[in-house]
Amino acid sequence: MEKVIVITSGKGGVGKTTTTANIGTGLALLGKSVVLVDTDIGLRNLDVVMGLENRIVYDLVDVVEETCKLKQALIRDKRYDGLYLLPAAQTRNKMAVSPEQIKELISQLECEFEYVIIDCPAGIERGFKNAVAGAKSAIVVTVPEVSSVRDADRIIGLLSANGIDDVQLLINRIRPDLVKRGDMLAIEDTLEILGIDLIGVVPEDETIFRASNLGEPAVTDKSSRAGEAYMNVTRRILGEDVPLMKLDTQTGFVSRLKNLFQAK
């Protein structure tokens, strides 16, 4: 993975913003300097899930229109060293900036930070074009469900047409019990259709709701399985070879006790 990564999917609601927040926080926890860029102008969410909504003074559009300097718009997350957010505007729309302007902005950010993570909006029109301008690699987020996979396939094709070939897949919200019953696409089925490398699999996890509502990404919650999976994804971005988490359905007390006493 390169240092400028766009998190995209095509389909809406599959977890791009959650992934951006968790990967960004994960990288900061591992000592890297990171800036998260929200390009979903008009429907901004990254600030909310990061718990930084009330600290927004200037945004991406202000920077592009030169109403303020880039530094003034960047919000430093006081909880995690090295983590910054460049929020989107809420009262404008995606025509307010152009891909060329975003490309210029991203190249400035590249000089200041070790990692630039770009949260892309759903769709394939202007929002997508803005988000991928300047990105060097991509993580495509999909849930194991046919419409999402169809859209992911389209997005992978469009990323390639935009010159981004370093693309990896993140399968989100997987339910191992449903996969076992044959009601949900298995990891192998999804990979067979999409044909790109897998950067990680994140299980469906209730802790995500609490995390979003509190503005504290799940990666900081030791009890969150999704958080653990996101931390593994972060490690893989840094080049570590982390095996896929074991995703089984046993969460009962007895099986947890059994796991405690099993030799590793």
Partner 1 sequence: MQTIVAIKGVDDKLEVYFNEMASYPSLREDLIQKLQRNKNFFLNSDAKVVISGRNLSQAQRREIKRIFEMDYGISNVYYADEIKKMTETAVMYQAAPEAEPPQIPTGELELVSREYFDAKSIFIATTVRSGQRIECEGDIVVLGDVNPGAEIIAGGSIAVFGTLRGLAHAGAGGREDVCVAALYMKPKQLRLSGRVVMPEENRKDAAVGEIAQLVEGKVVFRPINRK
The span of 76-84, 156-164, 178-186, 207-215 binding partner 1 (CB under 8 A) equals 156-164
Closest CB to partner 1 among 29 and 167? 167
* Residue whose pair of structure tokens reads 């968790």 in the numeric block: 22
Candidate segments 53-61, 115-123, 153-161, 253-261, binder of partner 1 by CB under 8 A: 153-161
Choice between 160 and 249, CB closer to partner 1: 160
According to CB under 8 A, which one of 154, 180, 210, 256 is a site residue for partner 1?
154
- Quick one: which of 54, 91, 111, 161 contacts partner 1 (CB under 8 A)? 161
Query: In this chain, which stretch among 61-69, 111-119, 145-153, 226-234 interacts with partner 1, using CB under 8 A?
Result: 145-153
Per CB under 8 A, which of residues 9..38 are in contact with partner 1?
Answer: none
DSSP the chain: --SEEEEE-SSSSSSHHHHHHHHHHHHHHTT--EEEEE--TTS--HHHHTT-GGG-SS-HHHHHTTSS-HHHHPEE-TTSTTEEEEPPPSSS-GGGS-HHHHHHHHHHHHHH-SEEEEEPPSSSSHHHHHHHTT-SEEEEEE-SSHHHHHHHHHHHHHHHHTT---EEEEEEEE-HHHHHHTSS--HHHHHHHH-SEEEEEEE--THHHHHHHHT--GGG-TT-HHHHHHHHHHHHHTT--PPPPP--S--SHHHHHHHHHS--
Please, which residue, 28 or 140, has the CB nearer to partner 1? Answer: 140
The answer to whether residue 263 forms part of the interface with partner 1 (CB under 8 A) is no
Q: Least Å distance between CB 64 and partner 1? A: 20
Under rule CB under 8 A, which residues in 180-199 are in contact with partner 1? 193, 195
For partner 1, the binding residues in 106-135 under the rule CB under 8 A are 129
From the CB of 100, what's the least distance to partner 1, in Å? 12
Site residues, partner 1 (CB under 8 A): 129, 150-151, 153-154, 156-158, 160-162, 193, 195
